[in-house]
Structure 1
């Protein structure tokens, strides 16, 4: 039994009070038989652990006993940020550190705040990834974590959407951002700071070259500015549409929030049947056509002519596919 697991077991008993052997096994990731063995070794080490038999029983420390061994390692302190994010913690290889840091933090609290923290943890759970999306594989994420913590550059091969699709870069990582379950790397290249989707990295090799992260760089401020710029570049046109009451209800499940907000702010009633006319932002004609066709007969594109023609051509092709013409 490792000293680390011995300490984790001790802190688990201190923070939880009475704990069954099965709960110990689940928390520490061992078998129930190993949990019994560990508890016996803890007793043999002179820790006042006693068993309460019967239904609702378990193991607990003698009343009033508390350990002061709550010092956190560097990895555990770093992992505290991810204490409520089990998925991201696993991505970064910090699962064990998060568990140990949480136990140490709980053990350091007085009884009242400790119980309140346990109640809070029991009723809140954060699931970062968006619906209808499988988690993206990020095999090179650990390389970027290492680079960020040691201040070293990384040689990468990256797949992007425009030609040439595969490029090589030497990057100076400045930070990692998790958005809707997707990891992004913020890094400086040869001429500028850019954002890279970690799942699109084909290869990453940590170099021995070191660099100094700019002291004035603010990752949160950069990300906010990046999102604003992304939205400005994303929507290059507008479309005028007619939308049924049902289409308006379905809108949030089929288009981005920016389009929903545009409808809410520009909608004008047309007729007495609840239909409205609105102006929405659009990307390319092909993208807007695919997005708006999700609403079927609950939407009609009035302008621009190119988007209306694209919608008509797609609907006509579908009709021919299904033998309606």
Structure 2
């Protein structure tokens, strides 16, 4: 464990430059005292590591010092090749770059780790898009990616769902996301907004450089966006009772309570009365809607109308010998 941490200290200083003991401790999730001991161990091993005193001080490596030590394990080598998404890289125009990078990494791996990388490539393939969905046409994806990378504003003609559908926008692209095979760009100016890249009808690149918000966290923004999306998707609530073994028909909003008869009472989020009506009917007699009254009444009507219809049209059928005797008389 200590040897792995020493390698991490060395690589952090090599890639990031000067770092304080507190910064190293936070990165490695250890105490500052442990960092002091690790630095002493590296110095004793001959690593040219120096400490600068003062407010802006910290530890640093001698200028020009590079280590060829990576400390890569078999699991890390496998994860590296599994993380490569050739489809997404190809859409971004980086397919050949990814292939070249993987080839170089494989060549740099110790001989005992190369079979692990080959095994991952041969046994796992990541295909993000879902079934029954055509791939989105994203002709402007490389241009958007270039704008994200170089922090250049773009002018786009964008198609949205509400009127007016086609609008012109000046975007400052902060980051790109791939979700279920669909590309999204998060862009300003101002409060970040999410745009589907396949809905960009026209794009004009500019040389106008924008200032990227220093506190913008793409992963954090997307997590919050998805939570808000699910909240907006299911803004209403329904109180239902479920028979034992019947799954929840939507996200639970309160703790489920098992009643004396074994049925579970719970409040679930629903998109609308119309959608919940269709979803709940699939559960048949395994669900009872208590609230809202409108939904309860609709399901009750849907359940009774077929019975009434068939009840009026059904004719009594005589079974057994009497049916056969009646058939015999009709033939005579």
Q: Aligning the two structures, in what range does the TM-score lie when normalised by the shorter sequence?
A: 0.5 to 0.7
- Residues 291 and 215 of structure 1: is their aligned pair in 2 closer, same or farther, counting only changes over 3 Å? same
- Residues 223 and 270 of structure 1: is their aligned pair in 2 closer, same or farther, counting only changes over 3 Å? same
Q: Which residue of 1 aligns with 2:220?
A: 221
- Residues in 2 aligned to 1:287 and 1:202: alpha-carbon distance in whole angstroms: 32
Shift of 1:303: 1.1
Q: Which residue of 1 aligns with 2:98?
A: 98
Indicate if the aligned counterparts of 1:129 and 1:135 stay in contact, CA closer than 8 A. Answer: yes
- Residues 90 and 290 of structure 1: is their aligned pair in 2 closer, same or farther, counting only changes over 3 Å? farther
- Residues 297 and 97 of structure 1: is their aligned pair in 2 closer, same or farther, counting only changes over 3 Å? farther
- Residues in 2 aligned to 1:201 and 1:226: alpha-carbon distance in whole angstroms: 20
Q: How does 1:133-152 map to 2 (within 5 A)?
A: 133-152=133-152
Q: Which residue of 1 aligns with 2:267?
A: 279
Q: Give CA deviations for 1:183-228 in whole Å, capped at 9, x if unaligned.
A: 1110004x42111122233332223322121233221122222223
Q: Which residue of 1 aligns with 2:124?
A: 124
Indicate if the aligned counterparts of 1:138 and 1:199 stay in contact, CA closer than 8 A. Answer: yes
- Residues in 1 aligned to 2:308 and 2:205: alpha-carbon distance in whole angstroms: 54
- Residues 184 and 295 of structure 1: is their aligned pair in 2 closer, same or farther, counting only changes over 3 Å? farther
- Residues 276 and 92 of structure 1: is their aligned pair in 2 closer, same or farther, counting only changes over 3 Å? same
**Aligned-pair RMSD on alpha carbons?**
3.4
Q: How many residues align?
A: 234
- Residues in 1 aligned to 2:137 and 2:308: alpha-carbon distance in whole angstroms: 39
Q: How does 1:63-102 map to 2 (within 5 A)?
A: 84-102=84-102
Structure 2 unaligned regions, length at least 5? 1-79, 314-332
Q: Give CA deviations for 1:233-273 in whole Å, capped at 9, x if unaligned.
A: 3332210123344642xx5xxx6xxx35558x41524635x
- Residues in 1 aligned to 2:256 and 2:192: alpha-carbon distance in whole angstroms: 36
Indicate if the aligned counterparts of 1:83 and 1:102 stay in contact, CA closer than 8 A. Answer: no
Per the alignment, in what secondary structure is the counterpart of residue 112 of structure 2? helix
Q: Does 1:292 align with 2:280?
A: yes
Q: Does 1:306 align with 2:294?
A: yes
Q: Give CA deviations for 1:58-112 in whole Å, capped at 9, x if unaligned.
A: xxxxxxxxxxxxxxxxxxxxxx899521221222122222222111110111101
Which entry has the higher C-alpha Rg, 1 or 2?
A: 2
Per the alignment, in what secondary structure is the counterpart of residue 177 of structure 2? strand
Shift of 1:142: 1.7
- Residues in 1 aligned to 2:139 and 2:307: alpha-carbon distance in whole angstroms: 44
Indicate if the aligned counterparts of 1:82 and 1:89 stay in contact, CA closer than 8 A. Answer: no
- Residues in 2 aligned to 1:184 and 1:317: alpha-carbon distance in whole angstroms: 46
Indicate if the aligned counterparts of 1:286 and 1:310 stay in contact, CA closer than 8 A. Answer: no
Indicate if the aligned counterparts of 1:84 and 1:125 stay in contact, CA closer than 8 A. Answer: no
Q: Relative CO higher for 1 or 2, CA cutoff 8 Å, sep ≥ 6?
A: 1
- Residues 83 and 229 of structure 1: is their aligned pair in 2 closer, same or farther, counting only changes over 3 Å? closer
Q: Which residue of 1 aligns with 2:51?
A: none
TM-score (norm 2): 0.59
- Residues 227 and 83 of structure 1: is their aligned pair in 2 closer, same or farther, counting only changes over 3 Å? closer
TM-score (norm 1): 0.60
- Residues 145 and 314 of structure 1: is their aligned pair in 2 closer, same or farther, counting only changes over 3 Å? farther
Shift of 1:134: 3.5
Shift of 1:318: 8.9
- Residues in 1 aligned to 2:111 and 2:252: alpha-carbon distance in whole angstroms: 47
Shift of 1:151: 1.7
Q: Which residue of 1 aligns with 2:159?
A: 159
Indicate if the aligned counterparts of 2:156 and 2:168 stay in contact, CA closer than 8 A. Answer: yes
- Residues 165 and 81 of structure 1: is their aligned pair in 2 closer, same or farther, counting only changes over 3 Å? farther
- Residues in 2 aligned to 1:118 and 1:217: alpha-carbon distance in whole angstroms: 37
- Residues in 2 aligned to 1:284 and 1:306: alpha-carbon distance in whole angstroms: 11
Per the alignment, in what secondary structure is the counterpart of residue 87 of structure 1? helix
Q: Which residue of 2 aligns with 1:268?
A: 258
Per the alignment, in what secondary structure is the counterpart of residue 289 of structure 1? helix
Indicate if the aligned counterparts of 1:82 and 1:88 stay in contact, CA closer than 8 A. Answer: no
